[in-house]
Structures are given as C-alpha cells and as structure tokens.
Chain A
C-alpha cells in the first residue's frame, strides 16, 4: 500500500477495508484527533521548556537543568505534578462555568491546529475556508477566559477576564485584516492553496511593502491575542496576581497554561504559512523531498516563536488604555490603508513573481 502523507485519506482507506464507509470516516477522524492531541500536548510542554530556556538565556541564568539531560524532562515533571495536584476552587464560584472554562480554552487552541499543512498533503482537515476557520476558532478561547474570570468569584480574576475580553476582541480585527491583506494576493482562504501560490515566491516577497506592513501588524496583534507580554494585561502579575486563572489549580490551570503556549505556536504557524511559504523550502532546494517540508515549517514557526519570546523578555507591559489606543488609533487605520495599497498592487500587477 502506498503510504501517502495525506493522513486523513490514509486512515480512511485503511479503515474502510473492514468497516462501512461512514464508520471508517468517523474512525479515521477519532484516530487523527488522538494523534494530534498526543503530539501537541507534548509539543506544548516542550514549548514551555523552550520558553524557560530562552528566558534563562536572556536573564543570565541557566534555566531548568536538573530533570533529564539538559533539563529536557523538566516540564514533563511539572505536568505530572500538576496532574496529581488537588483541584481547589472558591466557595461561591459558579461551579459549572468554573469547571467548563479551561476546556473552552484548550479545545479552541487544539482545534485550530487541525488545518495547518505541515507539509504537502500532511494536513488533517483541508477546508476551503481554512484561514477563516482559524480566526473563528481562535476567538472561542476568549470565552473560556471570560467564563473562568467571571465564575471564579474573585475580583482580580474578573478584572483580568474583562481586560482579556477587551483586548482579544480589539486585536482580532487587526489579525483578521492583516491576513485578509495577504488573501488579496492568494485569492483563496484554503491554507494548502495559500502555500501553493507561494511557489512563485513567499508572500512577504510577492507582496513586498504592504506585505511587510501586514506582517508587522500581524505579529503585534498576534502577540496581543495570545495575551503575552508586552500585552499580558490579562495576567499582569504585578497588578493582578495571576489574573483570570488566579483561582485555578492543578490540571485546570495547566490547560490555561498549555493553551497559551499552543496559541503562541498557532500564531507563529499562521505567520509562517501565510507570509513565509509554510512548508516550502527557501529557493525550492528540497522541494523534491516532501517530508522535509515538516522541517521547514517547524523551523519557520519556531523562529517566529522565538521572536515572540524575545518580545516577552525585553519589553515592559503596556497600560490597558494604551493597549486600546494602539489598536484603534494606529493599527486599525494603518491596516485599512494597507489593504487598499495591497489591492492596488494586485490590481496593477506589481507583485514580485519569480
């Protein structure tokens, strides 16, 4: 049997050998979901480890170096500890919503992963509205944060949650518009299509000036959407303690924490896919070997993840009103102008094609 990288097709074919077609489809989905869940829970833990190592590197420290070789198993140990911890909560919390909140956050970030083309055809779910799906799914997470903050019956958590609501709703517009700018070139929302288009040059090169603007706006807004410094109003520790997850412990806290890191990965992965050619290798040097695309995709994504970590460990935090001023008075008008500029460039055929 020819094992293709199209995993959905592979599993469906495998299962339909002994199951009716509809059951085989569902079975394949469940298997792929479980694989993704396993891979990205572990990947999230390693992102945490990378963050801690990068932070240590910035801060004249060594970082985790005790558990496993070079501290590689440190976050695993932390996760084990969090699993075994008691789940505490406040007395007058709204129990149902309080328990529901972490799942919103983690489910939304794990769902978003399904549409990324890791390499040619290696994609769980190739829908023609991929980019739209991503933006829609990633905004579900804020519901979880709002619920968690509200249901905790803690004023600090409430302030954090309200800040998060304001922030995510505002910056979602910029994320959406800056990606829309790039869609003007690709003419498609389907992520595999977007990567195909970039065989003539990465979109950041094809779209040159407006694309670079769009990338910068996207990175700023994306950082804000993941609630990371310098936009970590939500859990501004010097102001609000731990913000919206103050009252969460054990695995529920771990869900929030893991979701933050997977979200960071998603934001970087979208940028890698839309601006930097996804799994395409630079100048097509390894295009004949499709599975190497995974390497290029991850290399690009991790570079952008590092950029976001660099922001976090260098910049002070904005104030909540400055945060909104930045979005509504600067990024949004600039973004709208940028779309017009991009439209003109596409219309006049001024894009750079190789």
Chain B
C-alpha cells in the first residue's frame, strides 16, 4: 500500500486477474490472464493447453477410419462437419467418387449441425450478456436437431456418421419428415430469437461498436467463418470451394461490414436462415442409391500431401495429411478455426470493459477443445 499512496498523490495500479480455467464465461477450460486498470482491459493473454489431448499425434498412430472418430472430439459442436473433412481428404487422396446420395445427406446433416451449433451459441451468447432465458430457447430448438441425429446416427453429439467412402448407415425413414417438421418449427422460432434478444436496446448497446475488427486485421489474423464475415471478409468455404452437394444449391453468403460484435451476431443469425434454405433445397430430392462405396478394409493413402478444407460452424477447418504410403498418416495437421479466432481476442478486447470482453468473446464462439485439440 505504501507504493500506491505517496506524497498524497493518489495513484492507481494495474492488476491481474485470472479468468478461468474455471470461469462461467470462458465456456470450457480456457484461461485468460487479464491485465486490468479498474474496469478497463489493458491486455488479454490466453493460456491454452488445459484440454490438450494430442489428437494430431494420436492420428499418426491410427488408421484412417479411426481418425474420423477422433475428430468428433475437436469441435464437438460441429462433429459431423469435422468427420466430413477427414473423409473428404481421404476420398480425394484415393480418388473415390462417393454416391450422390451420400453427398446430399452429408450436406443436409452438415447444415443441421451448423444450425444446432448456432442455436447453442445464441443461447450462451445471451447468457454471457446476462439474458439467461435465451439459453433455454436455444437449447429447446437444438434438442429437436439432436433427436433427428439420434434417430439416424444413434448419437446426439459425437455422431461418427461418416466414414471414408460414405456413411455408416442409411438415413432413418423418419429423417425427411422430421427435418421438414424442424424447419417449419424453427422458422417461427428464429423470428422469436430476434424479438427476445436482437431488438433489445440494452443488447444492442452492449454489442454495437464493441470489439471492432477491421477487414485487414481479420485477414491478417486468419479469421474465418462468421468472425471474418462480420468484418466484411468474404471467406465462406462453401461458396469458394464447394464440397459434397454444396455446388448444387444456391445460398447467400451472409456478410456484414461493421466488424463489431453485433455484426458477428447478425452474421450467425443470418447463417441459420441460409442453412435452412440449403436444407429445403435438398431435403425433397435425396437421390436414391447406395450410402457407401466399397473401400479396402485397410486404407492406404498414396504417397504425397493432401489438403481439404470445409466450413464448420466456427469457420474454416483444414485437414492436411502427409502420407508415406502406409496405413497411417506420417503427419496430420488440423487447421482449426477457433485457434485463429482466439488469437484476435487481445487485439479487439483491449480498451474495453470486463463486460465487453465477455460479450466479445461470446461472439467469437470459441470451443476450447477445438483450440487445444
């Protein structure tokens, strides 16, 4: 204390607080070292590694079919899309053409996954800014999607529905009907989301002009997904490098140029509408045919390097496989969207209040196992 009060000149000092690894706003085991001056954030240092499981190293040990199951545990909210990324890489390397039916089903389930992920994000986003009721609304709608998944894949979160060459099994007979029911239901509920939260004056005051990320910074930090698109950086992999059945559908890339938290929020809400549009275009004419192509029991990739990227709910997920021609990859690298998006946090949160940091972090939609792997 004797250093703070000297010659009756009151002087304040910066101090540190540890936000996490157990903290309600970090949504997992993320630890943020904050340097704070009163309420104002001076520096944010993310400290990672609390849930590091060496997934990339484990991949070097496993066969390609086994790798697919590991990817569920990265970004568990877009587990299907992660599976798809690995399968697409392996299929491209083997130059297997999967049946049309598989492509369409993969796309539909991928978009459902995106909606489910955004529902959860919307719920916890509201909770982070203090509106606790949103959480239950988001979960109510996500539950319907999970029920659809449960019926078809047998699992609700880590679905393991893909495998190199196709799908584990065919869709459940109820799948089409229930998906349509969900779309009809969700169209009414998504407008409700806007009434409850988006239009709220307190919410808008909390979000607008906060956590501003310019387009240049978004590109140089490697931001992708809704975070990049909220800053006007057109980076939708589904648009530029369409995979599965995404080349057959028309949809708009949701793009906002403001770059603040509210823009990122709007991009995600818009994406849910677009995902529903994609599903609606595909759901009525799922082509007949096989749900698998025959692959060897032991998949050996040709010697070389293979890369495939997909758009998860969080952004661009890249899978980079270096193969020496054996049944295991020599090296496998995931380019996860969360890691790049988290690296922005210090850049956009400094100068704001503690409340701003929490709100900004919520719009980055971080999933910690995706960052740590």
Contact = CB atoms under 8 A, between A and B. Distances in A.
Contact of A322 (B131, B133, B205): B205
Interface in B193-224: 196-197, 200, 202-203, 205-206
B17 interface: yes
Nearest to A56: B136
B25 A238 contact: yes
B55 interface: no
A327 interface: no
- For chain B, give the interface size range: 20 to 34
Contact of B131 (A61, A241, A315): A315
Contact of B136 (A61, A236, A318): A61
A229 B130 contact: yes
A60 B137 contact: yes
A58 interface: yes
A313 B358 contact: no
Interface residues of A, number: 27
16 contacts: A59-B133, A155-B15, A159-B354, A229-B130, A230-B130, A238-B129, A314-B133, A316-B126, A316-B129, A316-B197, A316-B200, A317-B206, A318-B206, A319-B353, A320-B353, A321-B353
A237 interface: yes
Contact of B24 (A229, A237, A321): A237
A49 B24 CA distance: 24
Given A59-B133, A240-B354, A316-B203, 12 more contacts: A61-B136, A237-B24, A238-B130, A241-B23, A313-B133, A315-B200, A316-B206, A317-B129, A318-B205, A318-B206, A319-B205, A319-B206
Contact of A320 (B135, B140, B205, B355): B355
Interface in A279-336: 313-322
Given A238-B358, A320-B353, A315 B130 contact: yes
Interface in B109-158: 126-133, 135-137, 140
B14 interface: no
A156 interface: yes
A239 interface: yes
Interface in B167-205: 196-197, 200, 202-203, 205
Contact of A236 (B130, B135, B202): B130
Contacts, number: 80
A230 B25 contact: no
Contacts of A314: 131, 133, 196
Determine the main DSSP class of A at the interface with B: loop
A20 B75 CA distance: 78
A120 B290 CA distance: 82
Contact of A155 (B17, B39, B129, B197): B17
A225 interface: no
Contacts of A230: 130, 202
A238 B123 CA distance: 13
- Most chain B CB within 10 A, of A58, A236, A241, A317, is at A317
A351 B203 CA distance: 38
B132 to A, nearest CB: 7
Interface in A222-249: 229-230, 232, 236-241
B372 interface: no
Interface in B24-61: 24-25, 39
A186 to B, nearest CB: 34
B356 interface: yes
A159 B40 CA distance: 12
Nearest to A60: B136
A59 B354 CA distance: 27
Contact of B130 (A55, A60, A159, A232): A232
Nearest to B25: A238
A156 to B, nearest CB: 7
Contacts of A315: 130-131, 200, 202
B137 A317 contact: no
B22 to A, nearest CB: 9
Interface in A185-240: 229-230, 232, 236-240
